[in-house]
Amino acid sequence: MENRDVKLVEEILSLKRERNAVILAHNYQLGEVQDIADFVGDSLELSQDAAKTKAEVIVFCGVQFMAETASILCPDKVVLLPDIHAGCPMADMITAESLRERKRELPDATVVCYVNSSAEVKAESDVCCTSANAVKVVESLDAEEILFVPDQYLGHYVSTKSDKKISLWPGFCPTHIRIQPQDIIKLKKEYTQAKVVVHPECRPEVIALADEVLSTGGMCRFAPKTEAKEIIVGTEMGIIHRLRKENPGKRFISVSEQAICPTMKLITLESILCSLEEMAPEVKVPEDIRLRAKAAVDKMLN
Ligand code: 13P
Ligand code: SF4
């Protein structure tokens, strides 16, 4: 670590104590951000961490919908998103108004909403899910007709595991759709003993080539358990930092140099320090929306 970074880290940690803050970081964050976090995890794990923290301030190193979920679960805490421009393009592919319209077309459908969505969209939904529990959530519902929003690929993956009638929304993750089947085929020829893990936001043709389809947290649990010494990883590249750190004896191969989520990389040590100094930008969900969105998030957590 450079001297400049050592100083930055010291300042962040001291201000964090002063503010009684906790730092949560998603598995796709820059390595140096993951390294200073109190918890690193996937969307489900981080929302559970947010729900149970005793800290007064949550510094959310991730994207907007994740900070909103923390605000939905912890209305009395200050939730900081160090760069307010850190959005999720997939979450922006659906609005509350467009969802209301679709619900009118499918009045009998139960709306299952991937957490990668705004608080307003969650407020219009019956239940939320993450990539870690989507199949379980859909299967647990006492409903045969489902409208799954906004990720068509996660929704499609769930439909291959369920007999329910699932209508899909045409949203997608611009980072995961860059991963192509040829990327995996090529690497499998090079690393013949490797296991292939991919995220369910990938295209079905990519999922068909995988040994395991897992959330980012699922990948972190799978890596130490598998006997494989080489793992081809089909998701955003940031996770490789954590996988290598926690499994020094194993080799992790990112499936594509293109698998980078630009908004996840907006959070830096500098922006974290700045947000702790200024206690901004704060993410706060308006109370009426929060209460309706919380019902959908709680249903998932329960
Ligand atoms: P996870 O919940 O698996 O970490 O996924 C979040 C995400 O944004 C994937 O692109
Ligand atoms: Fe959104 Fe895709 Fe980035 Fe995840 S990787 S935050 S789904 S754009």
CA of 43 to the centre of ligand 1 (A): 6
Residue bearing the CA closest to ligand 1, atom 8: 116
Q: Domains in the chain, start-ordered, CATH in brackets?
A: 3-88+264-285 (3.40.50.10800), 91-172 (3.40.50.10800), 176-254 (3.40.50.10800)
Which pLDDT score is estimated for 4? Answer: 77
Per-residue pLDDT in tens (0 to 9) along the chain, 302 residues: 777 789 999 999 999 999 999 999 999 999 999 999 999 999 989 999 999 999 999 999 999 999 999 999 999 999 999 999 999 999 999 999 999 999 999 999 999 999 999 999 999 999 999 999 999 999 999 999 999 999 999 999 999 999 999 999 999 999 999 999 999 999 999 999 999 999 999 999 999 999 999 999 999 999 999 999 999 999 999 999 999 999 999 999 999 989 999 999 999 999 999 999 999 999 999 999 999 999 999 999 98
Q: Which ligand approaches the C-alpha of residue 42 most closely?
A: 1
Element holding 127 (H helix, E strand): strand 127-129
Is residue 41 within 8 Å of 74, Cβ to Cβ?
Answer: no
In the prediction, which pLDDT does 267 show? 98
The one-letter code for the residue type at 230 is E
Q: Which of 183, 241, 194 is nearest to 216 (CA)?
A: 241
- The ligand that comes nearest to the alpha carbon of residue 131 is 1
Residue type, 43: S
Q: How far is the CA of 90 from the centre of ligand 1 (A)?
A: 11
Residues 6+ apart with CB under 8 A from 262: none
Residue whose CA is at the smallest distance from ligand 2 atom 1: 88
Ligand 2 site-directed mutation target among 68, 90, 179, most atoms within 8 Å of CB: 90
Calculate Rg over the CA atoms of the chain: 19
Residues 32-43, buried b or exposed e (16+ Cβ, 10 A)? bbbbbbeebbbb
> Distance (Å, rounded) from C-alpha 283 to C-alpha 85?
12
**How is residue 72 written in tokens?**
């939905």
Looking at ligand 1, which atom is closest to the CA of residue 216? 3
Residues of 102-132 as b/e, b for ≥16 C-beta within 10 angstroms? bbeeeeebbbbbbbbbbbbbbbbbbbbbbbb
Give pLDDT, residue 272. 98
Exposed e or buried b for every residue in 73-90, given b needs 16+ CB within 10 A? bbeebbbbbbbbebbbbb
Whose CA is closest to atom 3 on ligand 2? 261
49-57 contact pairs (CB < 8 A, 24+)? 49/22, 49/24, 50/24, 50/74, 50/79, 51/301, 53/22, 53/77, 55/20, 55/21, 55/22, 56/19, 56/20, 56/21, 57/19, 57/20, 57/21, 57/22, 57/276, 57/279
Look at residue 260 in the predicted model and tell me its pLDDT.
98
Q: pTM for the complete prediction?
A: 0.97
Report residues whose beta carbon is within 6 angstroms of any ligand 1 atom: 27, 42-43, 116, 130-131, 173, 199, 201, 215-216
Long-range contacts of 3-10 (CB under 8 A, 24+ apart): 5/32, 5/269, 8/269, 8/270, 8/273, 9/36, 9/269
